[in-house]
C-alpha cells in the first residue's frame, strides 16, 4: 500500500484550493470535471427518490430499472446487446475499474495501456498484483483502451479498434474499454469495441459512467457491461466492500438516461466552442505544440523541456495558472490543460501562459 501514489490531479486541486484560501488569484486549468451543474431534471429524479423513501440498500449490482435502462442505452447508442444480469453499477467508474482489475488480474499478469494514460489505471493494476506495461507480449492478459482519452482527447478510429480486436481475439486477451468520455466528442464518432462482433464482446468489459456526460461527478455512479461470470465476480467483490452505490444516486442516474438529453448537447457545444478558442490561442505560443483533441475536455501540450513538473510548478508559482504535468500521465515533457472552465477563465489563463512562455 505504501507504494501506491495518490491521484496527482486531486493533489494539484488541493494545492490550488490552499493558495486560493490565502487570497492568491489562481486560474485553475487542471480540473477533471465539467463546470456545469447537474441538470435540474436529474436533481428532480433524486428528490422524488427521497420522497418515495428509496433510501435503503439496493441489489449489489444496482436497481433493476437502472440496469434495464443501461441495456437500452447500450443497444441504442453503442449497438451492443446486454442483459441486466450482465451489468453492474458501482461507486463511480473508478470503483468499477478497480473491480475489473481485481477480478481479471492474477499476480504478474500484464495489462497493456497505450500512453499517455490516466495514472489511476497504473495504481489500480498494481493494487490487483498485475503489471502495467506499454508493449504487447505473450504475457499480456488485458488491453486497456480509453477513447476519447484522458489526457489528450484522442479518439480511436474504426480501423484502430478493428486491429485491436483482431489482436485480442487471436491471443485471447481481455479488453477493458473505458468509455467515460463517449458523449464528449466533437467531429468524430465513438465506436464501442464490443459492438464489432460476438467474439470480441465475449472478451470485453465495457465501462462507462455518469460523471462527465451528465456533470454528476459527486454522485458517484459508474457501470460495467460484460460477460456474466466476470460481472458476477465483480459483484461478489462489491458486496463485500461498498455493497451498492447510493440508492438516491442510482435513481438520479436512471433519470439522467430517461430524460431529455438537451443539457448534454448544450454542454458539449460549449466545450467545443472553448476547444476551438483554446487551440487558436495556444497556436500563437511558439514554444508549445499540441494535437487538436477530438474528444473529452483536455488538451495535452508539448513543452520545450522534459521536466514538466518543474514547468508546471513555475507556471503556478510565477503565472498563477494550475495545469497537470505530463508525468501524471507517464509522459514527461507535456502538460494537460482542461477547458472544463469558463471562457473568461480560459482567456485569463491563456494570457498568463503566453506571457510566461514568451
Residues that bind ligand PLP (CB under 6 A): 32, 92-94, 118, 146, 150, 178, 180, 209, 211, 217, 222
- Closest alpha carbon to 144 in 171, 125, 163, 129: 125
Nearer to ligand PLP, 35 or 351 (CB): 35
Using CB positions, name the residue nearest to ligand PLP.
92
Alpha-carbon distance values, 164 to 32, 66, 134, 158 (Å): 27, 31, 14, 10
Peptide bond into 148 cis (omega under 30): yes
Smallest CA-to-CA distance from 221 within 248, 183, 182 is with 248
Residue 305 Cβ, how far from ligand PLP at the closest point, in Å?
25
Which of residues 102 and 150 has its CB atom nearest to ligand PLP in the complex? 150
Nearer to ligand PLP, 222 or 320 (CB): 222
CB of 178 to ligand PLP, least distance (A): 5
In the numeric block, which cell numbers belong to residue 139? 504475457
Residue closer to ligand PLP (CB basis): 144 or 282: 144
Smallest gap, in angstroms, from Cβ of residue 172 to ligand PLP? 25
CB of 356 to ligand PLP, least distance (A): 26
Cα 282 to Cα 302: distance, rounded to the nearest angstrom: 11
Q: Which three cell numbers stand for residue 293?
A: 483533441
Closest CB to ligand PLP among 32 and 349? 32
Which helix or strand (DSSP H or E) is residue 309 part of?
A: helix 308-314
Residue 278 Cα distances to 281, 285, 291, 354, angstroms: 5, 11, 12, 12
CB of 182 to ligand PLP, least distance (A): 11
Closest to ligand PLP by CB, 62 or 222: 222
Tell me whether residue 150 or residue 331 sits nearer to ligand PLP (CB atom).
Answer: 150
- Minimum distance, C-beta of residue 296 to ligand PLP, in the bound complex (Å): 8
Q: What is the dihedral sign for C-alpha 171, 203, 160, 92?
A: negative
How far, in Å, CA of 242 to CA of 33, rounded? 23
H/E element, 104 = helix 92-104
CB of 143 to ligand PLP, least distance (A): 15
Amino acid at each position: 500500500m505504501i507504494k501506491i501514489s495518490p491521484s496527482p490531479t486531486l493533489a494539484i486541486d488541493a494545492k490550488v484550493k490552499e493558495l486560493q484560501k490565502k487570497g492568491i488569484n489562481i486560474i485553475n486549468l487542471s480540473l477533471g470535471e465539467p463546470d456545469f451543474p447537474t441538470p435540474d431534471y436529474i436533481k428532480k429524479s433524486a428528490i422524488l427518490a427521497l420522497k418515495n423513501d428509496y433510501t435503503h440498500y439496493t441489489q449489489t449490482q444496482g436497481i433493476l430499472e437502472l440496469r434495464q435502462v443501461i441495456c437500452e442505452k447500450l443497444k441504442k447508442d453503442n449497438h451492443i446487446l446486454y442483459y441486466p444480469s450482465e451489468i453492474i453499477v458501482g461507486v463511480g467508474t473508478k470503483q468499477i475499474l478497480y473491480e475489473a482489475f481485481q477480478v481479471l488480474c492474477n499476480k504478474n499478469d500484464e495489462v497493456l495501456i497505450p500512453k499517455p494514460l490516466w495514472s489511476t489505471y497504473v495504481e489500480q493494476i498494481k493494487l490487483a498484483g498485475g503489471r502495467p506495461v506499454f508493449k504487447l507480449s505473450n504475457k499480456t492478459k488485458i488491453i486497456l483502451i480509453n477513447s476519447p482519452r484522458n489526457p489528450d482527447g484522442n479518439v480511436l478510429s474504426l480501423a484502430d479498434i478493428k486491429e485491436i480486436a483482431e489482436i485480442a481475439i487471436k491471443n485471447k486477451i481481455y479488453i477493458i474499454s473505458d468509455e467515460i468520455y463517449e458523449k464528449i466528442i466533437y467531429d468524430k464518432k465513438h465506436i464501442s469495441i464490443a459492438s464489432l462482433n460476438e467474439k470480441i464482446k465475449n472478451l470485453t468489459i465495457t465501462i462507462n459512467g455518469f460523471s462527465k456526460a451528465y456533470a454528476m461527478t459527486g454522485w458517484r455512479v459508474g457501470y460495467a457491461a460484460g460477460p456474466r461470470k466476470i460481472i458476477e465476480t465483480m459483484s461478489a467483490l462489491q458486496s463485500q466492500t461498498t455493497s451498492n452505490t447510493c440508492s438516491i444516486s442510482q435513481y438520479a442516474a436512471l433519470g439522467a438516461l430517461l430524460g431529455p438529453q438537451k443539457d448534454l448537447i448544450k454542454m458539449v457545444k460549449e466545450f467545443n466552442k472553448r476547444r476551438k478558442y483554446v487551440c487558436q490561442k495556444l497556436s500563437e505560443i511558439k514554444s508549445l505544440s499540441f494535437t487538436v483533441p477530438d474528444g473529452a475536455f483536455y488538451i495535452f501540450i508539448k513543452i520545450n523541456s522534459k521536466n514538466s513538473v518543474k514547468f508546471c510548478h513555475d507556471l503556478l508559482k510565477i503565472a498563477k495558472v494550475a495545469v497537470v504535468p505530463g508525468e501524471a500521465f507517464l509522459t514527461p515533457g507535456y502538460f494537460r490543460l482542461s477547458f472544463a472552465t469558463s471562457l473568461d477563465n480560459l482567456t485569463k489563463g491563456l494570457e498568463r501562459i503566453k506571457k510566461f512562455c514568451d
